[in-house]
Chain A
Amino acid sequence: MASCLETINLPHLPSSLPVHVALYRDVQNAASLKGHLLAGQKEFEYAFIDASMVLSRAHVTAAVFRAVNDYMHNRLQSHNVHSEIVFSLNPTNNIAESFRRFGITDSTKDLLVIKVSVSPEITHESVAAHLSSSVQGTPVPFDDQTLSEVSDINKIKKAYKLGALPSPSSPNDEAKQRLEKSLLSAIALRGS
């Protein structure tokens, strides 16, 4: 299966901490991936995110940035930087709730996988190899176009208590930009 793993050097983060991101559709083995994660298997230490809860690239990168920045400054509130990414998507301080809302579930069909190179042996190649042997799904590009086909706007608005905002009707209209900006500020201000 062709890999769509994207490796990103986020601005402001040290180049020694690249972030690997892959998006899958029609995932067949969500329950078993979740099982490996819950069993604490080191090789399954990923941020497994239900992609229907993701609005855009900017939405995810804001959460990754917050988690990695907190990781760099020894302020993690959860087990590791990967669980912290899932937690960082949440607008409130409840870790268990953040996993219920944004994390992989048994019924997850569209899955966003994120891995931070927190140690030198984690590379693009090692992550690509492990994912292609463990995720049964169709790799698709991690871009706003694809995400817009996947995201569940109403569920996202509900999780962030933004039900009053207008819903986007086209891929990059004003309503989408306003919703995205509102998500970014909620992520930034969590715990303030």
Chain B
Amino acid sequence: MGEYHPPPLPSPFNNTSPPPTLLTQGAEAHLYKTTSLDPSIPAALKIRPSKPYRHPTLDRRLTRQRIIQEARCLAKLVREGVSVPALLAIDWAGHGGEEGGWGGAWLMMEWIEGSVVRVVLEKWEAWMKDQTLDAASVEKEEKRVRGLLRQMGAAIGVLHKAGVVHGDLTTSNLMLRPFGTEVVEDDGNPSMEGDVVLIDFGLASQSSQDEDRAVDLYVLERAIGSTHPRSEPMFEELILGYRNSYKGAVSALKRLEDVRMRGRKRSMLG
């Protein structure tokens, strides 16, 4: 296999100096770190390249629809004061014409400092494994995790209250942004102080239905169960944080019971 080369950056980011650095690459998009329109403030750049195997007209329509949907959700949530990265700029139109032009789309967002909750919990679980703690210390440690889970629940509640469902809630799509400037990494036991910020609204949609809200919670519950076994028993704390965050939470949680019984697909056909 040859060395991997990410696709060339679309205009205007072929001008950017220094060039944006590639952070992650998913099936739908590439994520870069770059600067905002103020060179001293960083920004995240999400690029959805066109998919050559799709018909060009269909491809442009899908790419455009999806990036606009994501941007609209972010815009709405920022207006509502929910902790999400702000939308800074977007281009859904492509350029260079239908034939041979660039049919992708991009979105520039506020850069969120900190780490994703997945990393925080993984570090904590690894650290706990290496310790021999008395019952009181274990309880103290678990209390920190419970606090974080409660905050996560509250953040999701605020999101749902604003009329948006995330569509892909995992611990990789929740970030912990430290309060101050920089937290000192201690002996491998991570800090759990900070604001929970929701990220990656690529599959989000505007909905206030209990079903959609319950599926958000269910997907996260399953994700925590499979990636953070040591933290999973404390998931109830997340539910508690969620329950207290907005009025509609109780009926969404009622629906969660049904979803747990049958899985996230409502239809049992096919």
Task: List chain A positions with a Cβ less than 8 A from chain B.
Answer: 10-15, 57-58, 61-62, 65-66, 69, 72-75, 162, 165, 178, 181-182, 184-186, 188-189, 192
Contact = CB atoms under 8 A, between A and B. Distances in A.
Nearest to A165: B79
Contacts of A184: 86-89
Contacts of A11: 16, 34-39
Interface in B40-77: 68, 71-72, 74-75
Interface of B: 11-13, 15-16, 34-39, 68, 71-72, 74-75, 78-79, 81, 86-93, 95-96, 110
Contacts of B16: 11-12
B72 A65 contact: no
A192 B92 contact: yes
Contacts of A178: 78-79, 81
Contacts of A66: 89
A185 B36 contact: no
6 contacts: A11-B16, A11-B38, A66-B89, A178-B81, A185-B78, A192-B72
Contacts of A10: 37
Given A61-B37, A182-B78, A185-B78, A14 B86 contact: no
Given A73-B95, A189-B87, A192-B92, A182 B75 contact: yes
A72 B95 CA distance: 10
A65 B90 CA distance: 11
Contact of B75 (A61, A62, A186): A186
A186 B75 CA distance: 8
Centre residue among B12, B88, B91, B95 by max chain A CB count within 10 A: B12
A62 B96 CA distance: 23
A185 B87 contact: yes
B87 A188 contact: yes
Nearest to A9: B39
Contact of A72 (B12, B37, B71, B81): B12
